[in-house]
Amino acid sequence: METFNSQPGFCPVCGSILPPLNTVGNVACYNCKKEFPPDVFGAQEVEFIIHFNNYDPEKVFGKTKSSSDDEADGPVVERKCSKCGHMQMSYATLQLRSADEGQTVFFTCLKCKFKESENS
């Protein structure tokens, strides 16, 4: 029996690609049928922090907004806030998933500042 110097995600016994990691339990190799703990993937918990840019009209237009305008963190669209029912939300987009999938849109209510996201 050969021993492989495998990379995370490959079977350390036969070198085959391991199936996707389940949410609980061990991972079983389809080829040699051996079971391994989830750490065979070398996975570590990853945390993402998303920073929103603040809209500063003075930098963009060279003037300030009047105090009666709602404060927006980006472009404003007519979208109903699921928390307070206000009909205007600002939005920002990020590509968080792979390139062949859609982007993630983050909406912020202009009234109550509630944030929600949508995968497009």
pLDDT value at 5 more than 60: no
Instruction: Give the number of other Cβ atoms within 10 Å of residue 95's Cβ.
Output: 10
Burial (CB count <10 Å: 0-12, 13-18, 19+), residue 36:
middle
Which string of b and e fits 1-33 if b means at least 16 CB within 10 Å?
Answer: eeeeebeeebbbbbbeebeeeeeeeebebeeee
Stretch(es) of the chain classified as CATH 2.20.25.10: 57-119
pTM surpassing 0.85? no
For 3, the token pair is: 């021993």
Contacts of 23 (CB under 8 A, 6+ apart): none
- Per-residue pLDDT at 30 exceeds 70: yes
pLDDT tens for each residue of 90-114: 999 988 888 888 899 999 999 999 9
At 63-97, the pLDDT tens digits run: 554 444 456 778 999 999 999 999 999 999 988 88
C-alpha to C-alpha distance for 65 and 4, rounded to whole angstroms:
64
Asked if the 57-119 domain carries CATH number 2.20.25.10, the reply is: yes
